[in-house]
Amino acid sequence: MTSSVLDLAPVVPVVVLEDAADAVPLARALVAGGLPAIEVTLRTAAALDAIRAIAAEVPDAVVGAGTVISARNVSDTVAAGARFLVSPGWTDALLDAMKASGVPFLPGVSTTSEVVALLERGVTEMKFFPAEAAGGTAYLKALSAPLPQARFCPTGGISLASAPSYLALPNVGCVGGSWMVPADAVSAGDWARVERLAAEAAALRD
């Protein structure tokens, strides 16, 4: 795996799974479409089993855990096979746990002060969340001049249409989004549609 989550693919699918049985076929469809980094959010009871299944059965996927908000989340997801961690925000305790985990992590920020505080602690890669609500591309562009060492994965409200304007920014490595994993396609098991949408998203870097 590349040393940075931000460089794996232009888009990291943000996946919410109600049924762990969907995890493996969904991950295979995303990988086939060209999106190997997959963030499974801890918003459902199925999340840990989903991470476990993808880690065990889809070797080409780089499965990560999203909505990580506690030290317990960190230990549980890494034990399940998560290869990166993403949080919507951070505290000192959460940051310490993520640093100690041994896997790459993206702590969430939405203000300049949070970015500076992370830089002070030696963290240069972050999630910008909720991207659209927190100021979008204009905000990130404004951050790039005083804080060029900070790199971001903006997530929250981003679509296929808006992703290119984020990816064009010098301080954005990738974006997070869920438009390539629509709930109706997942519930119907329409993996061909997921693969098609993933391929469209993967082509954004070309």
Q: Which of 39, 125, 132, 200 is catalytic?
A: 39
Task: Find the catalytic residue in 57, 114, 120, 127.
Answer: 127
Residue 113, SS3 per DSSP:
helix
Indicate if 141 belongs to the active site.
no
Residues whose CB is less than 8 angstroms from the CB of residue 126 and which lie 6 or more positions away in sequence, other chains included:
106, 107, 108, 109, 115, 118, 150, 151, 152, 153
Sign of dihedral through CA atoms 47, 63, 125, 143? Answer: negative
Instruction: Find all residues with CB under 8 Å of 103, minimum gap 6, and list them.
Output: 78, 82, 83, 84, 85
List CB contacts of 148: < 8 A, sequence separation 6 or more.
170, 171
Active site includes 39?
Answer: yes
Token reading at 163: 């992703």
User: Would you say 24 and 56 are in contact if contact means Cβ atoms under 8 Å apart?
Assistant: no
Show which residues are catalytic.
Answer: 39, 127
